[in-house]
Amino acid sequence: MKVAVITGAARGIGRATALRLAKEGCAVVLGDILSEQVKETAKLVEEHGGKALALSVDVRDENQVKVMFERAVSEFGGVDILVNNAGVVWRSHIIDTSSEDFDFVVGVNLKGAFLCIKHAAPIMRERGGGVIVNISSLHAFSTLPNLAVYAASKAGLVGLTRAAALDLGAWNIRVVAICPAAVDTPMLRDKPTEEENLAAVNRWRKASPIGLLLEPEDVANLVAWLVSDEARGLTGIAIVLDAGVSADLQVRKIPV
């Protein structure tokens, strides 16, 4: 039985990934700062016959990350898969973004992934290898106004993916990144009113040439393939999953 550690597992992409990997037979260790919601994810996994361990984890805190991986070993024997999904979005003009804002966003989106890789890799080495999937963003390559820190953190995650793939390849650990466009998650639907949420959803759907707004399951399905042996030749790359949004030069007209 393979063991997967998934951060940001309380909802959205993280929850969908937990359910998908559990369906593939993985035991899942679920970390999130939203402690009650991550327990709900674990309950859903167990209701579908899977094995799950829910933990309250702030990925910015190295000790909490270390404990998460220690629990993965003690409960399930090791770690084979890591999905760095924990993330936050931050919307503000670059000159209105404080140092504290910067530290928070980079701490969750980039430092958190670094810490998880640091503590997962030695455990994977003992198991003969593993796969690490970093959930970056289309904003790593093509972004919008008022997302400077978010875009920087996600671009950094792509760089981290490439460097980690080089460092860990000798241990038979593959490292890949997925860069989705907007996904229909609570993070997308965080506007003050339902009308604004619906408008945001419709804008992204119209930006896709196939009229598709990604669902969390679309990302989870790609994760499941990337961690399988069918994708054994993929490491050190970033895969754009955007329903064709970035093919349109008019995409910048989508308001934040």
108-119 residue pLDDT tens: 999 999 999 999
Helix (H) or strand (E) holding 72: helix 62-76
Q: In sequence order, what E strands does the chain have?
A: 3-7, 27-32, 52-56, 81-84, 130-135, 173-180, 237-241
Tokens representing residue 162 in the block = 């490439």
Residue 254 has pLDDT above 80, yes or no: no
pLDDT digits (tens, 9 = 90+) for 78-105: 999 999 999 999 999 999 999 999 999 9
- pLDDT-derived band at 203, boundaries 50, 70, 90: confident
Residue 235 has pLDDT above 80, yes or no: yes
Could you tell me which of 175, 146, 11, 168 has the C-alpha nearest to residue 82?
A: 175
- pLDDT-derived band at 248, boundaries 50, 70, 90: confident
CA 177/CA 253 separation, integer angstroms: 26
Average the pLDDT over 235-251 and give the result.
87
pLDDT digits (tens, 9 = 90+) for 27-72: 999 999 999 999 999 999 999 999 999 999 999 999 999 999 999 9
CA 243/CA 241 separation, integer angstroms: 6
Residue 216 has pLDDT above 90, yes or no: yes
pTM: 0.94
pLDDT at position 253, please?
A: 56
Q: Domain 3-253 belongs to what topology?
A: Rossmann fold (3.40.50)
Residue 202 has pLDDT above 90, yes or no: no
CA 171/CA 177 separation, integer angstroms: 18
Q: Which sequence spans correspond to the domains of the chain?
A: 3-253
Q: Is 141 one of the catalytic residues?
A: no
Identified catalytic residue from 69, 76, 150, 204: 150
pLDDT digits (tens, 9 = 90+) for 137-189: 999 999 989 999 999 999 999 999 999 999 999 999 999 999 999 898 877 77
Average the pLDDT over 230-237 and give the result.
98
